Structure 1
Amino acid sequence: MMFAAPSKRLVFIAPVLIPLLAVLAGCGGETTAPAGDAPPVLAERHDNFEAISDNFKAIRAQLEGESPDLAAIEAAAIDINQRAERISGHFPEGTGRDAGWDTEALPTIWEKPEEFTAAQQKLLEESAAMMTLAASGDAAAVGAQVAELGGACKNCHDTFRLDDD
């Protein structure tokens, strides 16, 4: 079987087309991590938010029991509040997905810093309210406040966190 010689048109297009296709293949949409170790702040912020989540779950677990331990709820609320204070320091420029790091932090954090600060402030206010109510001994008020505290978490998740579940 004989093969036909490539057309003149293909001979002229191939030197341009092949490198272009190689460049486009590299633009698959996935970002790769920058060279080097991840900044320590990535693990610090992850661990901070995991602890906030664990504390919130502990508060809810207490409220699901017959006799909630309000001192335990107050301690969890204090820890949430202290950790919420640290949030702003956990998001320096260059530590997001757009910089190539494996993180759930959306670019919106850096694009809308005033909104992110307001979300942090809401968490601070709601966790402080939970601390006060738990210290007062009013279990019914603590039960109502858990929805407010959870709403502060949800607000931030909906706006500033990648939902990869």
Structure 2
Amino acid sequence: MLRTSAHRFLVAAALAGTLAACSGEAASDGAEAAKPAGEAPPVIKERHDNFEEIGDAFKAVRGELEKDAPDFTLIAAKANDINARAMKIETHFPAGTSTADGFKTEALPAIWEKPEEFKAAATKLVDESAKLATLAAGGDKAAVGAQAMAMGGACKGCHDQFRLDDKK
């Protein structure tokens, strides 16, 4: 019976360690994460919500493009929404709001370490979403589809450099 209790304890301890690592409690480089000075600033939720809305709008665009007869008015509206939200990206990343500052966020320190590259990535999304809105007005499914792919590439390019991929 003693062996079973010890075994259960070890399993529970291992599980607790694994859960802590998966929840973002541990830093990705193995070092202990910095502890935030207080509650997360509201801008962290604002930027998260902004990106969620961008993602939802992009899903709607892709959904329309899967149809034989897409609603180009809807695509243009969603592209304009993405564009307006993309213009806010730079303001959603003040200093002191990264994982390095101890906050649970997908914003990598590279955003603050490479501000010009981050600004260029955000600007690319602004530009690509504006092009998508313009092309949607023309109603050419192939052109709109190609531009939607280009806009998706702008998202991916930024994610690859500046967003924590917690699904690896």
Q: What is the TM-score when the length of structure 2 is the normalising length?
A: 0.79
Q: Is the 8 A contact 1:87 1:120 kept in 2?
A: yes
What does the per-residue CA deviation read over 1:82-128, in whole Å, with 9 as the maximum and x for residues that have no partner? 00000000000000011100000001000000000000110011000
| SS of the residue 2:95 aligns to | coil
- Counterpart of 2:62 in structure 1 is 60
Provide Cα deviations, 1:42-61, integer angstroms capped at 9, x if missing partner.
00000000100111111000
Does the 8 Å contact 1:108/1:159 carry over to 2? yes
Which secondary structure state, in structure 1, belongs to the residue aligned with residue 33 of structure 2?
A: coil
RMSD: 1.1
Q: Which amino acid aligns with 1:65?
A: K
Aligned length: 138
Letter in 1 for 2:159: H
Q: Percent identity at matched positions? A: 62
Matched, 1:79 2:81: yes
* Residue 127 (structure 2) aligns with: 125
Which residue is equivalent to 2:52?
50
TM-score (norm 1): 0.81
Paired residue secondary structure (2:87) = helix
3-state SS in 2 of match to 1:135 = helix
- Residue 30 of structure 1 deviates from its aligned partner by 3.2
- Distance apart, 1:32 and its partner CA: 5.1
Question: Per-residue deviation at 1:33?
Answer: 3.9
Structure 1 gap ranges (5+): 1-27
Structure 2's unaligned 5+ residue stretches are 1-29
Aligned letter for 2:147? Q
Aligned residue identity for 1:73 = I
Query: 2:117 corresponds to which residue?
Result: 115
2:99–2:106: 8 Å Cα contact kept in structure 1?
yes
Q: Does the CA contact (< 8 Å) of 1:33 and 1:101 recur in 2? A: yes
Alignment of 1:17-36 (within 5 A): 29-31=31-33, 33-36=35-38
Cα deviation, residue 66, structure 1: 1.4
Which consecutive segments of 4 or more residues in structure 1 shift more than 3 A? Answer: none
Alignment-derived partner of residue 22 in structure 1: none
Match of 1:135 in 2: 137
Which structure has the bigger radius of gyration?
1
